Amino acid sequence: MGRFASVICSIFWLLVFSTFGDVRGAERSGEKPHTIRIAYVSPVTTMAPIWIATEIGAYQREGLDARIVYIDAKIAVAALVAGEVDAVVISAPSVIPAVLSGANVAFIAGLHNKMIFSFHAQPDIQSPAELRGKIVGTNRPGTPADYGTRVALAKMGLKPTDVQLMPLGSSGVMWQALQSRQVAGVTLAPPYSFRADAEKFSRLVDTYDKPYQNTGVVVRRDRIRPLADTWLRLLRALRQANLRWYEDPKLAMFVLMKYTQQSDPDVLQKTYDFETNPPGFTKDLKVSDAGLQGILDFLAATVRPEAGKAAPKEFYDTTILDRLAN
């Protein structure tokens, strides 16, 4: 057994025993768990906090029965509004257009405040100019992937009309489309972006210098105060998870391997390094005003002119974070 496999095996059994211990502790307390349905929208690195919290038993310690489910980003906010889930872990480019259209939802915490998208093309495409007229994979407007695609195109000096945008789905779907040569290029997030590098696809541009509000916890505004205790428990669990990302690299890479289905040690290490220096995951769970403003400015200049009249504070509520800080 190789060194990497040996480490992963050791971590697995450590997590199994520690998680069972947390469950038994919750049972001994006699407290009925608070059931909460949490949706995530893509199997990418920025979702790591919800998975780490599962692996270390943080939900159980906080008295939560967390049901983690996958929902496509294009319908996630609608599912939240309809009450099909209690919270969604999603990025601001999905939330801002929904709120501008009347959805009564808000961030109650920011989990990750770093831009992550890079644009990758077929190996024979070496410059942005070669993309003109070709098919570029994306997701539906109003999703993080579509926002990342539009930002990347703009940074390369291209307009969406210079290429043929093809709505596909999440990062995993777009990565498969790139591999199978269905598209000339796509915007990817880690770990898929590092897989693309490893497989010699052309990296034409990254967007890492842009301010960004990435994943956060989004809930219905009318449920913030009635369920304040549940949200406080959830944020305590997720804060534990974010801190463990930095404290325990082996655990972080185990979680990435398990939940993003990536097994290449080099890809896992590059993904961890990218998210750690400079840090992407928040330690205080605050939402980024600069990140929200950057997205508002871009939307106002492109597809949502009314975004120019909105302010970052319209998209989050600090009620639970204020309690967490006390």
**CA 156 remoteness from chain centre:** 24
Question: Poorest-confidence range of 145-149, 198-202, 221-225, 236-240?
Answer: 145-149
The predicted structure's pLDDT at residue 143: 85
pLDDT band at 30 (very low <50, low <70, confident <90, very high): low
pLDDT digits (tens, 9 = 90+) for 212-229: 999 999 999 999 999 999
Whether the pLDDT of residue 244 is over 90: the answer is yes
How many other C-beta atoms lie within 10 A of the C-beta of residue 223?
Answer: 18
Q: Which residue has the tokens 């406080």?
A: 232
| Cβ neighbourhood burial of 33 (10 Å; 0-12, 13-18, 19+) | middle
Q: How long is the chain? A: 326
d(CA 311, CA 277): 29
Task: Please tell me if the domain spanning 3-112+212-325 has the same topology as the one spanning 118-206.
Answer: yes
pTM, entire model = 0.87
HSE-CB of 31 using CA atoms within 13 angstroms: 13
Q: Is 321 helix (H, G, I), strand (E, B) or coil?
A: helix
The predicted structure's pLDDT at residue 11: 43
How many other C-beta atoms lie within 10 A of the C-beta of residue 302?
Answer: 16
Q: Give me the mean pLDDT over the 87-108 stretch.
A: 97
Sheet of 185-188: strand order equals 164-167, 135-138, 185-188, 118-121, 202-206
What class has domain 3-112+212-325? Answer: alpha beta
144-155 vs 92-100: helix axis angle to the nearest 10?
A: 100
* Domain ranges (residues) in the chain: 3-112+212-325, 118-206
How many other C-beta atoms lie within 10 A of the C-beta of residue 82?
Answer: 10
Whether the pLDDT of residue 16 is over 50: the answer is no
Whether the pLDDT of residue 57 is over 60: the answer is yes
* CATH for 118-206, options being 3.40.190.10, 3.40.50.150, 3.90.79.10, 3.40.1440.60: 3.40.190.10
Whether the pLDDT of residue 210 is over 80: the answer is yes
Q: Which residue has the tokens 């099909």?
A: 84
